[in-house]
Amino acid sequence: MVEFPKSFFFGSATSATQCEGAHTAYDKGADIWDLWYEQEPFKFHDEIGPGTTSTFYEHYQSDIQLLKATGHNSFRTSISWSRLFPKGYGEINEDAVRFYKDVFQELKANGIEPFVNLYHFDMPAALQEIGGWENRQVVAYYQAYAKTCFTLFHEEVKHWFTFNEPIVHVECGYLSCYHYPCKVDPKAAVQVAYHTALASALAIREYHKIDKEGKIGIVLNLTPAYPRSDHPADVKAATIAELFANKSFLDPSVKGEYDPMLVEIIRKHDLMPTYTQEDLQVIKENRVDFLGVNYYQPVRVCAKANMPNPDAPFTPEYYFDRYEMPGRKMNPYRGWEIYPKGIYDIAMNIRDNYGNIEWMITENGMGVENEERFRKDGRIEDDYRIAFFKDHLTWLAKGIKEGSHCIGYHVWTFIDCWSWLNAYKNRYGLVELNLATQERIIKKSGRWFKELAEHHGFE
């Protein structure tokens, strides 16, 4: 048996934007995805925007019964900032308050512990108009929003996260044009990253004023950086890749300070953000209670083959090239390497270099295109997904056995959901969603996941 502790959290994760639907109804304000889709719908797969998604807003009661049927004892979702505050601040949407309170109470009534995230790439459009995370005022608005959530829902929710994958809205929004506002501005990227880390620390401070029993953390997508070889130039390339991909948020969140080597690089390229010593003290004094880790793939790098263009805008790739390891196992639908041992390496890194802080896997999953071809007797037989889970869980169990303080494993995701620019191209769910009829059918992986949770492991 590959076994896990009896108290282990088994569940799945989603986000408000990707599951709730009804994005302009019920007095919800627009977020940047609504705004971007209105401006450039052609950038979205099959021109499918965020309007409908998996209709959790209407079907949350029956969906929670499906969570129960697939063995969940926990579930991570997020609160939509622009649903609670249509303008990002000011007047609160009472319909949203009732909805989220009902969801959290329904989860608790069914023995499912809610894990709630405050921000999942979904800046309110009204705040993006004043600069989004570039604007220090938005940090204050976020702090007020977080305080409101804690005040409203702290009785139902005892596990919070401030942000999901904050490096994504930095890199994708301000370096690679993959998220709104589609800028290529490294100076702004650094300022956005700094403001996000500060906002997280301020939210943690607010939470501990309100609730002394619960815990608050941050969800980071950790992608271990592996060098092509043990050549010193390759090793240095991997060290720098690790600084940007992982340590840029991991260190301030867990240690309360930035890695000096990262600061040196940022200063060298004249990208230092506007900050104060008081801010740095807030970050130092308000660290996470526990850590969420999303793991999908590693990053493999090597020393650069050519000198960077001195006139090009700075990106972390100034210091390394991406390396395609011969023989790597791939998910061809997503273009990501499948490397289960990476989850063990993360466990050891947290144990050895981050005080063995309590942590959990908050996302791990495999997206596959055209799953209909695997239907048999009315059910999708997604054995590939079960194998993916087993491989990663085997390495995770090894890490736990060797002392890493991991408390849970959440897969992405519960039900096939809308995925940012990719819409429904790849399906990740334990439960199939029929877009035309909204019918939900548990896949083979969903039945297997129930057995996993019931037995706290697998053979």
Active site residue ranges: 165, 363
Closest by Cα among 219, 215, 216, 173 to 193:
173
> How many Å apart are CA 259 and CA 246, to the nearest integer?
11
Torsion region of 83: left, alpha or beta (phi above 0 gives left; psi -120 to 50 gives alpha): alpha
Amino acid (one-letter) located at 444 = K
Please state, as a whole number, how many other Cβ atoms lie within 10 Å of the Cβ of residue 193.
23
> How many Å apart are CA 80 and CA 149, to the nearest integer?
11
Query: Are the CB atoms for 168 and 176 separated by under 8 Å?
Result: no
Is residue 397 packed enough to be buried (19+ CB in 10 Å), middle (13-18) or exposed (0-12)?
A: buried
Query: Are the CB atoms for 93 and 137 separated by under 8 Å?
Result: no
Tokens of 167: 């490096």
Q: Give the chain's radius of gyration (CA, Å).
A: 21
Closest by Cα among 446, 454, 412, 449 to 430:
446
> How many Å apart are CA 408 and CA 404, to the nearest integer?
12
Query: Are the CB atoms for 445 and 433 separated by under 8 Å?
Result: no
Query: Are the CB atoms for 142 and 170 separated by under 8 Å?
Result: no
Closest by Cα among 73, 77, 74 to 54:
77
For residue 223, is the peptide bond before it cis, meaning its omega torsion is within 30 degrees of 0? no
